[in-house]
A and B are shown apart, each in its own frame.
Chain A
């Protein structure tokens, strides 16, 4: 079996302790949570941290709940916990849609929301989902806490706004009354990374789209978002034609690259098709009254509850 190179191991007992350890060990240290991205990289010896700082014991980072009309997700919330949570399902079905197709149930028991975002894989599902709902990342460092809009969190493949010595501590997602959301993914096989995927959130007001959020992953969309398509939709009546056009705009503005998951033309096609489908499904949910605040649980019952 592949095995990691040698490293030292420290277990953080609190967020300040984790920050102190990060400061002590400097840039050659890495934070480990679920480990499902980092450990395989270490086994391939593509990652060789001198020190691992284990934050798994930090219960303060495992909070998941609604505070003042904001969904707060601790960085250490496991995918399984995120998927199972009724409030998440009620307000943001997009996360349930996405989580159900992220890796597999066993990996979801271990992997964390914060870890997925910090890995900043250009094909990460949650990056697109959080971009669609315009979340805010809360980062803590030696100087205190700062907030970064999710669409400025990812700086490029495997690069985030979390500076050396800092820790992503939670995500905040504003609950928008009347908004509904959905996530659509094409994968080669269950548990695979997406060939392409799109998330959408729609807030309707007086029969027109007051605000649209569109996230895209695996297709080279900057900041995992499709702002041109969002702008196009603002003020439009929801409908097949508008959604198809939004898809076309999103597809035109992304930059997919060919790999074994498919040629660039196919991925670009999927970007458009999946944006259209996600918008359609989100609008359908809005119409069914399963939008945020409507009170019905929309989480899929088959979620790992």
Chain B
């Protein structure tokens, strides 16, 4: 089943997700544009974010951070701070070392300092923690802590990290003599090299996907409340993965896991930056244990940008081998990955380079090979964050940039070149040369739709005219992406041994109202609405009759959380499965009620709701509400039904889902100033069946803005001393309403064959797919000047410098 629509005209998008095979039905009993349940509280200012949590007797923490990128700590004197009125405790690395808590495990099997004991390894690293009666006093006391540092030479340029004689950052690790973390490869080197040797055409391009930060509008923070009497620890923090946090706290702090409750309240955006555990969380916990009172810690914006998970920082060299008529034969890539001072990326254990291995993208390429080398630098840890689907962002950027480089070399049209190489629909399920099994797709259709929507030929004609007549430059950029989201399966994917499968519980009360409990946690995705719609579709009830409980480990079953666009593919699937279990149990109860054989019953959903009835006599049936009441009543229940309809499940996905899309960006570039104006952005997304198209489109809008931001302005550069040059929103620029055009969306629908409702994840699609479209558009505009590549962000200065033949190296200070 494939359908396509666009919303370029008023009310055109009335989506298509009606498919009896996939269980979808029309709104209001299921899928469709339903207003969000969450909004009632948010529009009234009644959300409950972590900084809104107030507990009796609560104290406030603040962190002293290192001004140096690399320095030895000679001494820490906290006595003046401790004596400051209102200060309750000062915790240093030494304090933590005494509790065996100075270091904590990272999500990549490394360790990270909670509070530095020996050295500081990046600017902004945590050195001491003050607990005081109020946040102002805590901040005042930070100024009273004296730290004696011996500055050391920092490693800032990742390309120099492996140099002979480079300072060793991780001398805490025994036997470490350099800054090398890992080498990882995928694909077939010999086959790839052999094709390159014989190829008619080869192109190569170095490119940097610079370090960026997801910068959710809400920073990170925590409220920790340790009850000395019961031994119970409750932690409120805006985590995307509450259950993983609970298990990790148990492992880090040695607290029994059943005495730990993690509550992730409303989360003000995450985008991957709220997956890991940060030192501040541990400090708040230790502060509460030390003082016996609840402790709140909220980082400020500079702390957020300087210390919490960055994303990308991939120095890449891509090469393509092709025929002269534009058939791509092989691709190979070398990557230098800057992981910062600690290897703390959040990704499945077996993938040290994340899912970068999917770098053949959307193209049918015979052979491929990549090598990724991870290194330490004196920068904050991270790497996988910011809606990247475990580094697919970098992979898509690489292959989409390379396709344009090849088009440049062949003097080919970038759209035609892509069309020629896209995986054909009949090739699905498609196994890529690096071993990924793409589940479903019709790529040419999506690209054709995008080109039609943007009126590609007309734009090329306008461009030709502009080039002839002079004046502002017009650029048209295309990006075609394929995502791989929804991790597991658990046997291939785990985080620190925790398999990536999600539980779900569904309770149906006697009156037929239901409560769904899921392990994932919304950061704005609208799970309370979407997941209620899934249950509604399966049970034939109103979504208003389904309450979704999430974000509280005491209230929900175990699961790995919301990141990598996995909520709908995994927890959404678990939701459909658990609802089907309820429906099947309801069949048995209905059979008892109707005195019929369960095999003789058929399920139907009408406007009146879902019901089991005897085949061929619809009037002889029972609604799900009647069945729910009966399941709690004195009815003699059949064999195998203990009572009630409640069900639990754990969903272990058989494969990832592979959403895809075709994006076209149109820009005007002022060659006199280097300024770029995005004129239009057309995005055709195929994420399979859309449960709530309104929410899907909203997520795409947000991701497209990310693409504008990363391509044109977002940047965290470092000077030679390791000073962070993007440590506030004055310097780390995020796109505003003025830089974003009115997005033009289109869709095709190719259901996932293995997802219970045919859905694929979409949360990260636009962030993954859009940067390449913007960059390709700008470079397309500059093509008459002989500019083949310049790195993001394409600031006015960088565009102008590229026009002069000297593009800026964007990871270092501009000189």
Q: Which A residues have a C-beta under 8 Å from some C-beta of B?
A: 1-3, 5-6, 45, 104, 186, 188-193, 195, 258-263, 265-266, 269-270, 273-274, 277
Question: A1-B298, A1-B300, A3-B135 known; A260 and B725 CB under 8 Å?
Answer: yes
Residue of B nearest to A263 (CB): B814
Q: Does B34 contact A (CB under 8 A)?
A: no
Contact of A188 with B300 in the complex, beta carbons under 8 Å: no
**Sample of 18 A–B contacts (CB below 8 Å):** A1-B300, A3-B135, A3-B136, A104-B736, A186-B673, A188-B796, A189-B733, A190-B739, A258-B815, A259-B814, A262-B795, A262-B814, A263-B801, A263-B808, A265-B804, A266-B797, A270-B673, A277-B672
Report the separation of the CA atoms of residues A191 and B735 in the bound assembly, to the nearest whole angstrom: 10
Partner of B796, one of A191, A195, A265: A195
- Known A-B contacts A3-B139, A189-B736; the reply to A262 vs B300 at CB < 8 A is no
A260 with B731, Cβ < 8 A, contacts A190-B738, A195-B797 known: yes
Which of B713, B725, B815 is the one whose CB lies under 8 Å from A263? B815
Shortest Cβ distance from residue B301 to the other chain A in the assembled complex, whole angstroms: 8
For the complex, is B674 an interface residue (Cβ under 8 Å from A)? Answer: yes
A258–B719 Cα distance when bound, in Å, is 12
Q: Beta-carbon contacts of B133-151 to A below 8 Å, as 1s and 0s? A: 0011001100100000000
Interface residues of B in 116-162 (CB under 8 A from A): 135-136, 139-140, 143
Picked from B300, B725, B796, the residue with its CB within 8 Å of the CB of A186 is B796
Interface residues of B (CB under 8 A from A): 135-136, 139-140, 143, 298, 300, 302, 672-675, 712-713, 715, 717, 725-726, 730-731, 733, 735-739, 795-797, 800-801, 804, 808, 813-815
| Docked CA distance A124–B736 (Å) | 21
B-chain residues with CB within 8 Å of residue A261 when the two chains form the complex = 795, 797, 814
The interface residues of chain B lying within 8 Å CB-to-CB of A259 are: 814
* A2 adjacent to B139 (CB under 8 Å): yes
A1-B300, A195-B796, A269-B800 are contacts. A188–B139 as well, Cβ < 8 Å? no
The minimal Cβ–Cβ distance linking A93 to chain B, given in whole angstroms, is 20
Asked whether B735 lies within 8 Å of A189 as measured between CB atoms, the reply is: yes
Instruction: Collect the chain B residues with CB atoms within 8 Å of residue A191's CB.
Output: 736
Residues of A within 8 A of B674 (CB): 186, 266
> Residues of B contacting A6 with CB < 8 Å?
140
Complex Cα–Cα for A6 and B139 (A): 11
| Residues of the B chain whose Cβ atoms lie less than 8 Å from the Cβ of A190 | 736-739
- Which of B712, B713, B737, B797 sits near A262, CB closer than 8 Å? B797
B residues within 8 A CB of A189? 712-713, 733, 735-736, 738-739
A290 and B214 CA atoms in complex are apart in Å by 47
Give the CA-CA distance A157 to B737 in the complex, in Å: 32
Instruction: Note all chain A residues with C-beta closer than 8 A to B140.
Output: 5-6
A129 to B466, CA, bound (A): 34
Cα distance A293–B731 in the bound complex, in angstroms: 41
Shortest distance between the CB of B672 and any CB in chain A (Å): 5
A-B contact count (CB 8 A): 74
Asked if B672 contacts A273 (CB within 8 A), the reply is yes
A190 to B736, CA, bound (A): 7
Complex: chain B residue closest to A259, CB-CB: B814
Residues of A within 8 Å of B300, CB to CB, are: 1-2
Q: What is the bound-complex CA distance between A3 and B60, given in angstroms?
A: 14
A260 contacts across to B, CB distance below 8 A: 715, 717, 725-726, 731, 813-814
Q: Which residues of A contact B725 (CB under 8 A)?
A: 260
Query: Looking across the interface, which residue of chain A has its beta carbon closest to that of B709?
Result: A189
CB distance from A272 to the nearest CB of B (A): 10
- B713 lies within 8 A of A266 (CB): no
Which of B143, B673, B739, B800 contacts A45, CB < 8 Å? B143
CA distance A190 to B708 in the complex (A): 13
> A5 to B136, alpha carbons, bound, how many Å?
8
Known: A260-B726, A262-B796. 19 other contacts (CB 8 A): A1-B135, A2-B139, A2-B300, A3-B135, A104-B736, A188-B733, A189-B712, A189-B735, A189-B736, A190-B737, A190-B739, A193-B730, A195-B797, A260-B731, A262-B800, A262-B801, A266-B797, A266-B801, A270-B673
Contact: A2 with B302, CB < 8 Å? yes
Query: B764 to chain A: closest CB distance in Å?
Result: 23
User: Which listed residue, B733, B797, B814, touches A192 by the CB 8 Å rule?
Assistant: B733
**How many Å lie between the Cα of A96 and that of B404 in the bound state?**
42
| B739 / chain A contacts, CB cutoff of 8 Å | 189-190
The distance in angstroms between the C-alpha atoms of A166 and B713, with both chains bound, is 41
| Best-buried of B139, B140, B717 by chain A (most CB within 10 Å) | B139
B673 touches A273 (CB 8 A): yes
CB distance from B641 to the nearest CB of A (A): 56
B residues within 8 A CB of A3? 135-136, 139
Closest-CB distance, B273 to chain A (whole angstroms): 18
A106 shortest CB reach to chain B, Å: 12
A188 / chain B contacts, CB cutoff of 8 Å:
713, 733, 795-796
Across the two chains, which residue of chain A brings its CB closest to B219?
A1
Shortest distance between the CB of A42 and any CB in chain B (Å) = 12
Q: How far is the CB of B743 from chain A (nearest CB, A)?
A: 18
Contacts of B135 in A (CB 8 A): 1, 3
Set of chain B residues within 8 Å of A265, measured between Cβ atoms: 804
In the complex, what residue of chain A is closest to B303 when comparing beta carbons?
A2
By a CB distance below 8 angstroms, the chain B residues around A269 are: 800
Q: How far is the CB of B571 from chain A (nearest CB, A)?
A: 34
Q: How far is the CA of A195 from the CA of B801 in the complex (A)?
A: 14
Closest to B793 in A: A188
* Complex: A259 Cα to B815 Cα, angstroms: 7
Which residues of chain B have C-beta atoms less than 8 A from A5's C-beta? 140
CB neighbours (8 Å) of A192 from chain B are 730, 733
Which residues of chain B come closer than 8 Å to A1, judged between CB atoms? Answer: 135, 298, 300
The 7 tightest CB contacts between A and B, nearest first, are A262-B797, A190-B738, A189-B733, A266-B797, A186-B673, A190-B736, A2-B300
Give the nearest-CB partner of B797 in chain A: A262
A263: chain B residues within 8 A (beta carbon): 797, 801, 808, 814-815
CB distance from B765 to the nearest CB of A (A): 24
Task: Find chain A residues with CB under 8 A from B814 CB.
Answer: 258-263
Q: Are A266 and B800 in contact (CB under 8 A)?
A: yes
Chain B residue contacts of A277, Cβ below 8 A: 672
Q: Nearest chain-A residue to B798 (Cβ)?
A: A262
Which B residues lie within 8 Å of A262 (CB)? 795-797, 800-801, 814
- Give A266 to B736 CA distance when docked, in angstroms: 24
Could you tell me the distance in whole angstroms from the C-beta of B61 to the nearest C-beta in chain A?
Answer: 13
Complexed CA–CA distance, A274 and B796 (Å): 14
Give Cα A262 to B739, complex, Å. 19
In the complex, A277 Cα to B736 Cα: how many Å?
A: 26
The smallest beta-carbon distance between A5 and chain B, in angstroms, is 7
Complex contacts, B712 vs chain A, CB 8 Å? 189
Complex Cα distance, B717 from A26, in Å, reads 41
Residues in A with CB closer than 8 Å to B801 are: 262-263, 266
Which of B675, B736, B739, B797: most chain A Cβ within 10 A? B797
* CA–CA, A263 and B739, complex, Å: 23
Q: A260: shortest Cβ distance to chain B, in Å?
A: 5
How distant is A202 from chain B, measured CB to nearest CB, in Å?
Answer: 20
Residues of B within 8 A of A274 (CB): 673
**In this complex, what residue of A is CB-closest to B143?**
A45
Min CB distance, B134 to chain A, in Å?
10
A273 to B670, alpha carbons, bound, how many Å? 12
CA–CA, A104 and B738, complex, Å = 11
How far, in whole Å, are A266 and B302 apart by their CA atoms in the complex? Answer: 28
The distance from the CB of B473 to the nearest CB of chain A, in whole angstroms, is 15
Residues from chain A with Cβ under 8 Å of B804 in the complex: 265
Q: Which residue of chain A lies nearest to B813 when distances are taken between CB atoms in the complex? A: A260
Report the Cα distance A192→B795, complex, angstroms. 13
Contacts of A45 in B (CB 8 A): 143
Closest residue of B by beta carbon distance from A277: B672
Docked pose: A258 CA to B801 CA in angstroms:
13
Q: How close is A6's CB to chain B, nearest CB, in angstroms? A: 8
Taken together as a complex, chains A and B put the C-alpha atoms of A56 and B796 apart, in Å, by: 38
**Closest CB-CB distance, A184 to chain B, in whole Å?**
9
Most buried by B among A1, A45, A265, A266: A266
Tell me, rounded to whole Å, the shortest Cβ–Cβ distance linking A32 to chain B: 18
